[in-house]
Amino acid sequence: MEMAVRVESLRFAYPDGRVALDGIRFAIAPGEKVAVVGPNGAGKSTLFLHLNGVLHGEHTGRIWIAGMELTDKTLRQVRARVGLVFQDPDDQLFSPTVFEDVAFGPLHMGLPEEEVRRRVTQALAAVGMLGFEDKMPHHLSLGERKRIAIATVLAMEPDILLLDEPSAGLDPRARRNLIQLLQRLPQTMLVASHDMRLVWELCPRTLILDAGRLVADGPTAVLLQDEALMEAHGLEVPMLAPAPRPEAPIPHTISAVWK
């Protein structure tokens, strides 16, 4: 099976010498929903910025997206297939209306008006925000703005979604609605989060990063209940109901790497 994401020996250091990623290696199958957890400074955001090519060129190691290696020649194609949703939706919403925000990406792809309108309608329908086209984004609630931010990425029709702390700041109802939305989306998904209940409910598989290293990779239901593992890496075991079963078996072997 061709992996949606494959990373081999990825290493990256910032100009001050701080190593942010130290030999990261993993693969993700198409359609998987995978959590990326770890303490602040673990390397989660830096990893995401590599997967969509923002930090391309300064790392060692190799990255493949849908079988295509990330290189100077493929950078534009990779960016088109990987959508990044920031923690703060205001980092992505800057237009006077919802329609203009969601249409921004397709318009700059040079698509005809009919196709742009189709994509906007489809993206807003996917996040439950049809009818908000003429609203001003800054007048919406945080939960609504997060949905619109996701729609701006979906309008680009990516194969892979990277979500950075998607539930941050949400009240319980908005958080529940967001989880249900993300469960319905068909894209391969990596979710960086400190919200362990979201991780438990949404992602059958979890990667744990700490100090730039991948210290564990395995079933969420196993890793999140391993008190020694969680405590060793600055994480808390959540109070949880029984783990939901994934809709389909994970199609490749996953094993813990923490020791």
Beta-carbon neighbour count of residue 253 at 10 Å?
5
Give the long-range contacts of residues 214-218, CB within 8 A, separation 24 or more.
214/23, 214/24, 214/25, 214/26, 214/257, 215/257, 215/258, 216/256, 216/257, 216/258, 217/26, 217/254, 217/255, 217/256, 217/257, 218/254, 218/255, 218/256
* pLDDT-derived band at 221, boundaries 50, 70, 90: very high
Whether residue 238 is contained in a domain is answered as: no
Instruction: Check residue 15 and give its pLDDT.
Output: 87
Instruction: Look up the pTM and report it.
Output: 0.88
Whole-number average pLDDT of the chain? 90
Range of the domain at 186: 5-232
* pLDDT-derived band at 248, boundaries 50, 70, 90: very low
Whether residue 258 is contained in a domain is answered as: no
Instruction: Check residue 215 and give its pLDDT.
Output: 96
Whether residue 246 is contained in a domain is answered as: no
Whether residue 18 is contained in a domain is answered as: yes
Whether residue 250 is contained in a domain is answered as: no
* pLDDT-derived band at 156, boundaries 50, 70, 90: very high
Whether residue 168 is contained in a domain is answered as: yes
Residue 257: pLDDT above 60? Answer: no
Whether residue 54 is contained in a domain is answered as: yes
Whether residue 241 is contained in a domain is answered as: no
Domain count for the chain, please give it: 1
Instruction: Check residue 44 and give its pLDDT.
Output: 94
* pLDDT-derived band at 240, boundaries 50, 70, 90: low
76-90, 128-142, 143-157, 227-241: range with lowest mean pLDDT: 227-241
The CATH number linked to 227 is 3.40.50.300
Residue 255: pLDDT above 50? Answer: no
State pLDDT tens for residues 178-217. 999 999 999 999 999 999 999 999 999 999 999 999 999 9
State pLDDT tens for residues 95-137. 999 999 999 999 998 999 999 999 999 999 999 999 999 999 9
